[in-house]
Structure 1
Amino acid sequence: MFRSFKQRATEHELMDDYSSGGQELREALRQLRLLNRIFAAAAPTLYGVKRLWVEADKPRRFSIIDIGSGSGDVNRHILRWADENRVDLQITLADITEDACEEARILYCNEPRIHVLRTDLFGLSERSADVITGTQFVHHFAEDELSKVVESMLKASRIGVVINDIHRHWLPWAAVWLVTRIVSDNRYILNDGPLSVAKGFRSEDWLKLKDQLVGSELFYAWRPLFRYMVAIKKAG
């Protein structure tokens, strides 16, 4: 149960096994939407999107690809922000699994600004959208893969990248361990929830990434509840 948080955990999450899935995974995706609300998961992504939007002189038309989106529930907050600011927004929810894509289609069946695309990060074309977002996405990759992943996100963007991921710390780990056991008996949730915290990040991880990215401007900030928002403005 108890582990050291000095280094990122290296175990694979159950959701990383793309050969499994089905009804149990789809149930997990639905329960993850509840956990995202409990832990205010959407707020750091919106914070980063607004930052890059302002730095781009508040364009009236704006596009986002949310990579590894799951059912894409965090984007409901971005849609409300677009309404309030009269931004003509288009969001593509991109995920590698058909289960996640189908959950996203159901969730946004009446939302014409949302498009669902089954693909992985490395299948995105260059300059596919203004901003590429990844919420609870990059912790699925090993430390030696992180810079390649972020460079691929930058390549697919026109303006920059927003990363929202978990602070690796015993307190959020304990909170997630407890809450998942209160609200769920789904094995994906029970295993992957606490493990995702153990695979999360600390300030030194973002500083190391900043040194590895040549030419791009990286800003990161700790945000409630135990999350990091990383905004990376594309060079040029």
Structure 2
Amino acid sequence: MSGATRTSFARRETDALELMDDPGCDAALLDRTYGQFRVVNRLVAGWRRLYVDALRPVLAASSHPTLLDVGFGGGDVPRRLARWARADGLDLVVTAIDPDERAVAHVRRLPPGPVTYRRASSTDLVAEGRRFDVVVSNHLLHHLDPADLQRVLADSERLATGLALHNDLRRSAVAYAAYAVATRPLARSSFLHADGLLSLRRSYRPDELAGVRPGWTVRAAPPFRLLLEHVPGAAA
């Protein structure tokens, strides 16, 4: 890796647009990318451990547990959370929202499952007066500009009664190199390779989100993840 490439990780790359965020992108490649999220998230997102350690205790304390996933993308994360909760005997009601009609179209083509998917934003649900025991997102934060980041965090505070947890990538030259090699065979069949590399360049480091909003804590998680967490009623 060249010195210029190493230097580029000193700050977030916020000017470039991911291919899948282009409204005119190839629909077939986009749909294939949504489908491939399932494998990538299973390998790198760490939701099983987050479910066991952080989500399950909050959900188990509720007689009628509810969970909201903000920006569901391919829809695989909320489906897995619902299955794990069901296996634990929890009657969890899962709602997943995404403002992109293409993401909604993708999940509607999937087999029926235990999740209610909606085309909506977190602000829409705040306006409806909705509340959930747990609010989560997966790989969402690096897509947001500063104003949208503050909006999503403020909405999460209003929507979550027990826990809000945003799980994202953590910018790292090592993660970038590993992802580049692992996904190179997919470079022509979907947006997963190019957009994933850009996502890593756009992602935060913990110090960049420290103090982003009162009441939120940020920490690094293995292998190359970042967790931004809010517990209602807890000290900042």
Shorter-chain TM-score range: 0.7 to 0.9
Deviation of 1:119 after TM superposition, in Å, equals: 1.5
Counterpart position of 1:179: 182
| Contact 1:164-1:230 within 8 A present in 2 as well | yes
Counterpart position of 2:117: 116
Deviation of 1:55 after TM superposition, in Å, equals: 5.0
Query: Larger relative contact order (C-alpha < 8 A, sep ≥ 6)?
Result: 1
Counterpart position of 1:222: 220
Counterpart position of 1:99: 102
State whether structure 2 residue 203 is matched by structure 1 residue 200: yes
Deviations 1:141-198 (A, max 9, x none): 1245422321122223333311000111101111112222123424522321011111
Deviation of 1:37 after TM superposition, in Å, equals: 2.6
Counterpart CA distance in 1 for 2:17 and 2:139 is 14
- After superposition, where does 1:1-236 map in structure 2 within 5 Å? 2-3=5-6, 4-10=8-14, 11-20=16-25, 22-43=27-48, 45-46=50-51, 50-51=53-54, 53-54=56-57, 58-107=61-110, 109-111=111-113, 113-125=114-126, 126-143=129-146, 145-186=148-189, 188-209=191-212, 212-213=213-214, 216=215, 218-235=216-233
Higher mean C-alpha deviation, range 89-98 or range 32-41: 32-41
Q: TM-score, normalised by structure 2?
A: 0.83
Matched-pair identity in %: 26
Amino acid paired to 1:226: F
- What is the aligned residue count? 227
Deviations 1:17-60 (A, max 9, x none): 3354522211111122222233244346525xx52553577213
Deviations 1:76-122 (A, max 9, x none): 43223312331110111211223212322333x332x3111011233
CA RMSD of aligned residues (A): 2.5
Counterpart CA distance in 2 for 1:25 and 1:147 is 28
| Contact 1:45-1:229 within 8 A present in 2 as well | no
